[in-house]
């Protein structure tokens, strides 16, 4: 290992890769949340229970598809670049958020809901003032799972020209430059762990003390 290579990887290559990677993660997760949470709310309403089961099963199947296969399938359909990668990753990060949104909302005890409606709250108000706040920690936990996943699969997105830390790793592998590998892989790992810890911290902060951690 040479310091020269290491320095180059860390200071010349990494900033751009890290920026691209962050962009992929943030955009993907934002889109995933915007789609999944409303979808989860919709599917948790009693009227759509049956529909919810079907949707969950489909998402479950999608989730079983390995990330590398998703990336590979995205290329011929969506083309090269960052946008196709984001769309592909987003599809796969829906499941944990949708699933947790439904679980969180259904997990609110019916006593609480009944009490709220007994006080004269409408279904809408109950959703906004009672169910969602109580479900937020669980929804966040789903977002955490999805985020870690997107950081991880984001490294493969470089295969279809999306850039990101994957570029450093792939470059390192093909040229066999361990310095590139360490910088790319290390930053990827740190990013995933950091986001995981951060969202986990949020979860803990937001959980009412009586409900306990996790």
Partner 1 sequence: MTLSDFTSFLMKNSKTIMEYSENHFTLVLLAVGISLAIWVPVGLLLTKSDKWAARVLALANTIFCIPSLSMFAILVTIPMFGLGRKSALLALVLYAMMPLIRSVYDGVKNVDRNVIEAARGMGMGTRRILIEILVPLGMPIIFAGFRITVVMTTGIAAIATYIGERNLGRFIQEGLIRSNTPMMVTGALIISAIAIGLDTILGLVEKRIVPKGLRISR
Interface residues with partner 1 (CB under 8 A) are 60-61, 64-73, 75-76, 148, 151-156, 159-160, 165-166, 169-170, 172-173, 178, 181-182, 184-186, 188-189, 192-193, 196
Q: Are 44 and 101 in contact (CB under 8 A)?
A: yes
Between CA 115 and CA 62 the distance in angstroms is 38
To partner 1, the closest distance from the beta carbon of 91 in angstroms equals 13
Between CA 163 and CA 85 the distance in angstroms is 10
To partner 1, the closest distance from the beta carbon of 39 in angstroms equals 22
For partner 1, which is the closer residue by CB, 132 or 170?
A: 170
For partner 1, which is the closer residue by CB, 52 or 172?
A: 172
To partner 1, the closest distance from the beta carbon of 194 in angstroms equals 9
For partner 1, which is the closer residue by CB, 98 or 157?
A: 157
For residue 20, give the nearest of 145, 189, 188 by alpha carbon: 188
- Find the length of the chain: 214
Phi-psi region of 81 (alpha: psi -120 to 50; beta: other; left: phi over 0): left
Phi-psi region of 164 (alpha: psi -120 to 50; beta: other; left: phi over 0): left
To partner 1, the closest distance from the beta carbon of 131 in angstroms equals 26
To partner 1, the closest distance from the beta carbon of 152 in angstroms equals 4
For partner 1, which is the closer residue by CB, 64 or 211?
A: 64
For partner 1, which is the closer residue by CB, 116 or 154?
A: 154
Contacts for 68 with CB less than 8 Å, ≥ 6 apart: 156, 159
């Amino acid at each position: 290992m040479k310091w020269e290579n290491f320095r180059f990887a860390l200071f010349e290559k990494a900033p751009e890769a890290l920026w691209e990677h962050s962009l992929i993660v943030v955009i993907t997760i934002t889109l995933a949340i915007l789609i999944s949470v409303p979808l989860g709310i919709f599917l948790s309403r009693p009227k759509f229970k049956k529909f919810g089961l079907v949707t969950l099963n489909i998402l479950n199947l999608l989730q079983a598809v390995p990330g590398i296969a998703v990336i590979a399938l995205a290329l011929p359909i969506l083309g090269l670049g960052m946008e196709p990668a984001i769309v592909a990753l987003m599809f796969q990060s829906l499941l944990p958020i949708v699933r947790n949104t439904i679980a969180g909302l259904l997990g609110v005890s019916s006593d609480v809901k009944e009490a709220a409606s007994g006080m004269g709250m409408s279904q809408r108000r109950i959703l906004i003032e009672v169910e969602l706040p109580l479900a937020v920690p669980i929804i966040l936990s789903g977002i955490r799972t999805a985020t870690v996943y997107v950081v991880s699969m984001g490294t493969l997105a470089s295969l279809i020209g999306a850039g990101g830390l994957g570029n450093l790793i792939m470059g390192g592998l093909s040229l066999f430059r361990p310095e590139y590998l360490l910088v790319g892989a290390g930053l990827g790992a740190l990013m995933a762990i950091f986001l995981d810890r951060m969202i986990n911290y949020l979860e803990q902060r937001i959980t009412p003390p009586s409900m306990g951690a996790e």
